Structure 1
């Protein structure tokens, strides 16, 4: 099987299938290396050239993916992420404060409210900046 070059295509196909199950794109980059090895075999290269082509393309692809925006994921604080908590950015009215904490109606229920660091209790309308458990962290709406 290795002498016919079928090995390169079977492994590349298996890596693509495995990539579909994981969703990380790194297996896809390695599959590109195996495709390069298969193409080198198809053009009549020796085994050493096939291996070098496969390794070189896989290495360049993985490094390129790692340096792209798709391979450089940063963990975000979910308590402040608008994509996780749709309430962030919404406004609410707080009438009475007690040492930086309050209770206020928001979306038809009473919520515990906490002032964001550096904020004062003077404003009436506040913007939600984060959610910490069942508390809304707010800053004065400007």
Structure 2
């Protein structure tokens, strides 16, 4: 039994999609798009060289575009300051007084927490915003 080019391209596409699912590397999915372009060229009866060029052009262009999009997107904040990871980030607390080291005891969600001032200038009493959490210490800012 002889395998034609169309079948070979679709098998390669499927293998790349399976590898992407196993590893989570989105670049493999972009290369699978290139294999799909090669398969479509084979369906249209194009020569093997045209199939490979179309697969390389589409797959390569997709990889480059994805890489550029990823570089432009801002990196997420560290986990201890990420509001998607900690729902407490961005919440406010009242500070009655600060000590000389810029630390305080605050009551938040029914418990006593250590707090550290991480803003600009001198800490003052009043309402502050939780900017990050390090262990059991809240980092506060105005």
Using the size of structure 1 for normalisation, the TM-score is 0.84
Please list, as runs of the form range in 1=range in 2, the aligned pairs for 1:49-128 lying within 5 A after superposition: 49-68=50-69, 72=73, 74-99=75-100, 100-128=102-130
Show CA shifts across 1:86-139 (max 9, x none). 111111122132121111211111111111142433232211111122210112
Residue 20 of structure 2: aligned partner: 19
Higher helix proportion, which one? 2
Contact 1:29–1:58 (8 Å) recurs in 2: yes
Contact 1:111–1:134 (8 Å) recurs in 2: yes
- How many residues were matched structurally? 140
Residue 48 of structure 2: aligned partner: 47
Unaligned runs of 5+ in 1: none
Please list, as runs of the form range in 1=range in 2, the aligned pairs for 1:120-139 lying within 5 A after superposition: 120-139=122-141
Please list, as runs of the form range in 1=range in 2, the aligned pairs for 1:2-41 lying within 5 A after superposition: 3-41=4-42
